[in-house]
Amino acid sequence: MQTPPIPENSKKTIININGEICKPEDAKISVFDRGFLFGDSVYEVAKTYQGIPFLLQEHLDRLWKSASRLEMLLTVSQNDVSAEVNKALAELGVEEAYFRIILTRGEGPISLDPGEGVKNNLIIIAQEHLPFPSSWYENGVHVVITNVVRVSKESVDPNVKSGNYLNNVMAFMQAKREKAFDSIMLNHKGHVTQGTTSNVWIVKDNTIKTPPLQAGILEGITRKTLLQLAKSDDSLKIEQVNFTAEELINADECFLTSTMKEIVPVTQIDNSPIGTGTVGPLTVKLHSLYSDFVKRTVEGL
């Protein structure tokens, strides 16, 4: 069984709503906000290292792309959002922080039609980030292949990071029932897509593989970064290719990537150990490459 995470209510938290700083218990937004009514919102999750927002521009660019794909008119600029992020983080006053940027379409009538003159609500949740259990990285985690099928890319664009997250919530609930770390979701063709909040990778015969965007996945920023880093190392062979649940289970190594968790080894899927059932050497090497990238980036800012 995995070590439980730190309870959320034990972490220092600050909320910024449209430029106004408040405590969590004082944070309020209208029940007529379309993010609440319809999940009509976009968001990004990022973190700080040594007090510095990491790859903030990349997250803002993806936030803007998500809004564009939803035809969401933005009444704030990227500079506005960046300034409010920094305001919240300064108020929080910790070196290692999690922050979530949420942009809703705004308040409007209870109708699918947002109408005109709707003004966005900008919410930033900044929270102290405490270290994840070391056992995740030293021993690996157990995941399950969920029977919750990933929503088709023909139905909902997987590269829209929106407030409509029920597909992932239902998949995670299955993982929780089975006392697993996370669920891996398949698409309607039976190909592996992603975890509920992470991208999936396998290693087979020294080749590193991750599903292509066409499988119906979110283009994770850590995924994108790791692909770039791996391509710069001639000793690493990497492919973006479809693979099945069977290939996943029979992999030599498996790991998940995300902004907050970085690279988490997977050593068991359902009831099957992956490879030797221990953290694999290429997983360790890739995490080292990523950690070096983080250090270089932070020191260069």
State how far the Cα of 47 lies from the Cα of 95, in Å rounded to an integer. 10
Report yes or no: 181 and 163 within 8 Å, Cβ to Cβ.
no
Residue 75 burial (C-beta neighbours within 10 Å; 0-12, 13-18, 19+): middle
Nearest Cα to Cα of residue 270 among 175, 168, 170, 192: 175
Reported as half-sphere exposure (CB side, CA atoms, 13 A), residue 103 has a value of 30
**Residue 256 identity:** L
Report yes or no: 146 and 33 within 8 Å, Cβ to Cβ.
no
Q: Is 263 helix (H, G, I), strand (E, B) or coil?
A: strand
State how far the Cα of 273 lies from the Cα of 142, in Å rounded to an integer. 9
State how far the Cα of 201 lies from the Cα of 266, in Å rounded to an integer. 9
Query: Which residues carry out catalysis?
Result: 161
